[in-house]
């Protein structure tokens, strides 16, 4: 970038009647037709002139880089992906290791280069989302020695929608001695996904399912137990075996509290820095790799930048793209959409959770479906006759 280009940007800072400072410019950011668009950024309130000057210089440089890269890339109206348009031979790579289905990931893990404990302490990782996936990842990676920055837009990680899970979590431990195995869990999961799931990844999930239960128990999750003290199982989801580990009807809540307690331990030790009430606005790419984020402080409205060696998106589902959903209103597509705008590809985006067992909408006052536990389809069901005076037994 030449010096003249840097100083030719037309941008300005103005303050509205409510005291909010805004940065304004024109850029190719998000353009598909080759025309510049008006960009406005809310910089928050109570900023000094030096702070506003620094913010202006930062965003000028940010949009200069975007405009320079746009000018050097051929874009047509028929394509929203310049990289795929220029390279006609490129294709999507699912990064699944080669080899036999049951050994793909095991052999791949044994050949991965290791990171020494001393080098782990020099690495920083940003994790977006602090539900079951995000909180567990943050706690586990911090335990291994990495420095973690965790972000959530709620006031506490305990507000994550993972708390809504009820029925249980499946694992191929075969505690009931009913013939369960890793392959049976793999096949049931593939069948439940209408045979459209990625087989290698599902097999890996079945392989580590037992380890996931062990990790949850180590984090203090109070799974239901039998009289002798061993973990209890129940049938779930229409399968032929009992492989579901559960905590009454509060499995998601107890799992989340267990992950949150492990996360809190790492926050107290200083390995995790927690940023609540922060929403990811954009992802920062360096040579095609995510190396940071732009986040908005939802208390002050200020935009803040954070850098790291890697970025993990654990932002949950987005069932609310549909009109009726059992998901919380915060389960939307904003984070995934920002990743998509930066070049991430979606595989089967229609695979969103619309819970099969729920109380349907019965009036205009009811805006959402009411979730019913999926355990009602197996161990939790109670037969009630539809017709008064029906003498048939439950077995009939």
234: Cβ–Cβ under 8 A, 6 or more apart, which residues? 168, 242, 244, 246, 375, 378, 379
- Tell me the HSE value of 247 on the side-chain side, using a 13 A CA sphere: 19
- Point out the least confidently predicted range of 67-76, 135-144, 282-291: 67-76
- Point out the least confidently predicted range of 174-188, 262-276, 322-336: 322-336
Domains of the chain: 3-76 (no CATH), 122-341 (3.50.50.60)
**Segment 375-395, tens digit of pLDDT:** 666 666 677 778 888 877 766
Q: At what angle do helices 199-218 and 182-192 cross, to 10 degrees?
A: 120
DSSP letter, residue 360: P
The whole-angstrom separation of Cα 376 and Cα 260 is: 28
Q: Contact 59/23 with Cβ under 8 angstroms?
A: yes
The answer, yes or no, to whether residue 5 has pLDDT greater than 50, is no
Q: At what angle do helices 251-269 and 132-144 cross, to 10 degrees?
A: 30
What's CA 84's distance to the chain center, in Å? 26
**Which is higher by pLDDT, 18 or 207?**
207
Q: Contact 369/329 with Cβ under 8 angstroms?
A: no
The whole-angstrom separation of Cα 119 and Cα 188 is: 41
DSSP letter, residue 375: G
> Averaged over 337-356, what is the pLDDT?
80
Q: For residue 319, which of 331, 307, 335 has the smallest C-alpha distance?
A: 331
The structure tokens listed for 228 are: 């002798």
Q: Residue 272: what pLDDT? A: 96
Q: Contact 123/146 with Cβ under 8 angstroms?
A: yes
Burial class (CB in 10 A: 0-12, 13-18, 19+), 350: exposed
Q: DSSP for 318-347? A: -GGGSSS-SS-TT--SHHHHHHHHTTPPPS
Average pLDDT, the chain: 82
> What is the radius of gyration, based on Cα positions, of the chain?
25
Confidence bin at 213 (pLDDT 50/70/90): very high
Q: Residue 354: what pLDDT? A: 67
Q: Residue 303: what pLDDT? A: 95
Q: Residue 84: what pLDDT? A: 42
Q: Residue 74: what pLDDT? A: 45
Q: Residue 81: what pLDDT? A: 45
Burial class (CB in 10 A: 0-12, 13-18, 19+), 167: buried
**Which is higher by pLDDT, 237 or 84?**
237
Q: Residue 193: what pLDDT? A: 82
**Segment 252-266, tens digit of pLDDT:** 899 999 999 999 999
Sign of CA dihedral 290, 315, 132, 244: negative
> Averaged over 196-211, what is the pLDDT?
92
- Point out the least confidently predicted range of 139-143, 227-231, 379-383: 379-383
Q: Residue 214: what pLDDT? A: 94
Q: Contact 305/181 with Cβ under 8 angstroms?
A: no
Beta bridge partners of 37: 27
Q: Residue 170: what pLDDT? A: 92
> Averaged over 59-64, what is the pLDDT?
80
Q: Are strands 147-151 and 124-128 parallel, antiparallel or unpaired?
A: parallel
Beta bridge partners of 245: 169
Q: Residue 336: what pLDDT? A: 86
> Averaged over 214-242, what is the pLDDT?
89
Q: Residue 15: what pLDDT? A: 82
- Point out the least confidently predicted range of 46-55, 70-79, 213-222: 70-79
Q: What is the pTM of this model?
A: 0.71
**Which is higher by pLDDT, 82 or 213?**
213
The structure tokens listed for 188 are: 């049931």
Among 5-9, 74-78, 146-150, name the most confident range.
146-150
Percent of the chain having pLDDT more than 70? Answer: 85
Q: Residue 283: what pLDDT? A: 95
The whole-angstrom separation of Cα 197 and Cα 347 is: 10
**Which is higher by pLDDT, 32 or 261?**
261
Q: Contact 127/151 with Cβ under 8 angstroms?
A: yes
Beta bridge partners of 23: 13, 41
The structure tokens listed for 229 are: 């003290």
- Point out the least confidently predicted range of 42-56, 157-171, 180-194, 203-217: 42-56
318: Cβ–Cβ under 8 A, 6 or more apart, which residues? 327, 331, 332, 333, 336, 352
């Amino acid at each position: 970038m030449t010096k003249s280009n840097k100083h030719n940007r037309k941008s300005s800072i103005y303050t509205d009647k409510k005291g909010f400072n805004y940065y304004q410019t024109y850029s190719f950011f998000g353009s598909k037709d080759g025309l510049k668009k008006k960009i406005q950024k809310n910089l928050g309130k109570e900023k000094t002139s030096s702070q506003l000057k620094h913010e202006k210089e930062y965003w000028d440089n940010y949009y200069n880089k975007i405009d320079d890269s746009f000018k050097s890339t051929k874009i047509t109206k028929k394509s929203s992906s310049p990289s795929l348009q220029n390279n006609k031979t490129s294709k999507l790579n699912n990064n699944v290791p080669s080899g036999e289905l049951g050994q793909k990931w095991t052999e791949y893990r044994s050949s991965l280069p290791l990171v020494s404990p001393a080098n782990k302490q020099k690495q920083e990782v940003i994790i977006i989302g602090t539900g079951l996936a995000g909180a567990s990842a943050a706690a586990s990676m911090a335990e291994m020695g990495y420095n973690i920055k965790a972000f959530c837009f709620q006031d506490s990680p305990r507000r994550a929608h993972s708390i809504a899970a009820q029925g249980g979590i499946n694992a191929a431990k075969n505690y009931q001695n009913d013939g369960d195995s890793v392959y049976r869990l793999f096949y049931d999961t593939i069948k439940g996904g209408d045979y459209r799931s990625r087989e290698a990844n599902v097999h890996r999930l079945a392989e580590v399912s037992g380890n996931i239960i062990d990790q949850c128990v180590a984090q203090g999750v109070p799974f239901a137990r039998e009289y002798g003290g061993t973990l209890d199982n129940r049938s779930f989801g229409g399968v032929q075996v009992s492989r579901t580990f559960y905590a009454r009807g509060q499995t998601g809540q107890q799992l989340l509290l267990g992950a949150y307690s492990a996360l809190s331990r790492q926050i107290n030790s200083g390995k995790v820095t927690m940023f609540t009430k922060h929403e990811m606005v954009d992802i920062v790419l360096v040579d095609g790799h995510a190396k940071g984020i732009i986040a908005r402080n939802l208390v002050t409205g200020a935009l803040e930048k954070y850098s790291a060696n890697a970025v993990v998106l654990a932002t949950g589902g987005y069932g609310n793209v549909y009109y009726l959903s059992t998901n919380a209103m915060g389960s939307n597509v904003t984070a995934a959409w920002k990743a998509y705008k930066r070049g991430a590809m979606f595989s089967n985006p229609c695979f969103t959770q619309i819970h099969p067992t729920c109380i349907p909408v019965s009036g205009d006052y009811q805006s959402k479906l009411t979730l019913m536990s999926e355990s009602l389809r197996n161990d939790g069901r109670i037969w009630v006759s539809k017709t008064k005076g029906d003498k048939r037994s439950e077995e009939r």
